[in-house]
């Protein structure tokens, strides 16, 4: 079955590791295929959001616009998830994601996901764990960047 391949992709995703395979099959079934050609926007920064994406194959650039300037902050590849924050709360998209080359994804709508999470709370625990890990990494990185930004100012002052 085509969606067996998708189940495998889900299993390789850090966020869904530790989740029961039968739940993953259900999750894969509930997902919808979305394919994008090179350069097409998957999501745009600032749009209202109600879905998350799992990359099945291909690559995507993550672009953030700040103060009028757009810069690519990351590149995502197979088995990576983006937009998952939209599943849990109604925040606008924090970045634009653009396909680089042919991109195949699996889309999960919030409604369905929430229903699934209500059914199988252990999935929610796994997802929260993975989000918490990501938050931890982000915090560490932020602290490092702050320290870096403070250090040259200190040196110019002193210089």
Partner 1 sequence: MAEKMTRFVWRHSARDQLVLLFFTVLTFPIIWITLELPKTIINEAISGTDFPKTFLGIPLEQTQYLIALCFAYLLAISVNNGVKYAQNVQRGILGERMLRRMRFDLYRRVMGRPLSRLKGTSPGELVQMISAELAPIGDFVGAIISTPVSQGGSFLVYLSFIIVQNPLIGAAALALYPVQAWLVPKLQARVIAMIRIRLANIRAMAREIDESIDGATEIRALRARRWHMAIVSRQLYDNYVIRRRIFLLKNLIKFVNNVANHLTPFFIFLIGGWFVIHGQLDVGALTAVLIAYKDLAAPWKELLRFYQDYSDMNARYNSVMENFSEDGEPAPLLDRAPVGPHALALTGAPVDGLAHPVDAHAPKAATTAVLAEDAVARSSLLQALSGLVDGHSGDKWTAGTPILYRTAAYVPADPRIFAGSMRDNLVHGLLFRPVAPGDDPEHALRRREAEMTGAPVDDIADQWIDPVEAGYADVAAVEARIHHLVHVLGLEDDLYAIGLLSRFDPEQAPELAARLVDLRRAIAGSDELGEMREDFIDHWQAERYNTNATVGENLFFALPLDPALRWPDFAEDRAVLRALDEAGIRGMMVEIGLDLCETLLSLFEGVAADSDLFKRYGLFPRSETANIEAILRLGRQRGAEKLNRAAQSRMIAIAFSYCSARYRLGVMRGTERMDMLLAARPKLREFAARDPRFAPFDPEAFHPAFTMAENIFFGPVKLERRDSWAPFRDRVDALVNELGLRELILRAGMAQPLGEAGTTLNALQRRKMGLARALMKNPGALVLDGIAAGESEADRALRALLRAQLAAQPEGGALVFGTDREAAATAADHVIRIDREGRTSEEDGTGEDSRDEPPAVDGACDGGR
* Interface residues toward partner 1, by CB under 8 A: 1-4, 22-23, 25-26, 29-30, 32-37, 40-42, 107, 111-112, 115-116, 119-120
Considering the complex, what minimum distance in angstroms separates the CB of residue 3 from partner 1? 5
Transcribe 123-159 into DSSP letters. HHHHHHHHHHHHHHHHHHHHHHHHHHHHHHHHHHHH-
User: Cα 7 to chain center, whole Å?
Assistant: 17
Tokens representing 29?
Answer: 């079934």
3-state secondary structure of 110: helix
User: At closest approach, how far in Å is the CB of 72 from partner 1?
Assistant: 20
Closer residue to partner 1, CB minimum distance, 11 or 14: 11
Question: CB of 138: closest distance to partner 1 in angstroms?
Answer: 27
Which residue, 79 or 105, has its beta carbon nearer to partner 1? 105
- Taking the least distance from each CB to partner 1, the nearer of 107 and 134 is 107
Q: What number of other Cβ atoms are within 10 A of residue 87's Cβ? A: 22
């Amino acid at each position: 079955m085509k969606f067996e391949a998708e189940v495998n992709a889900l299993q390789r995703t850090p966020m869904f590791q530790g989740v029961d395979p039968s739940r993953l099959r259900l999750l894969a079934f509930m997902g919808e295929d979305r394919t994008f050609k090179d350069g097409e926007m998957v999501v745009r920064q600032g749009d209202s959001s109600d879905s998350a994406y799992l990359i099945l194959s291909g690559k995507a650039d993550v672009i953030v616009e700040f103060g009028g300037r757009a810069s690519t902050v990351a590149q995502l590849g197979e088995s990576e998830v983006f937009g998952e924050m939209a599943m849990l709360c109604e925040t606008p998209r924090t970045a634009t994601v653009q396909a680089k080359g042919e991109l195949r994804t699996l889309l999960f709508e919030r409604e369905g996901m929430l229903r699934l999470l209500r059914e199988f709370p252990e999935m929610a625990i796994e997802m929260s764990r993975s989000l918490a890990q990501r938050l931890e990494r982000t915090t560490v990185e932020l602290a490092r960047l702050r320290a870096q930004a403070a250090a040259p100012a200190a040196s110019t002052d002193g210089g």
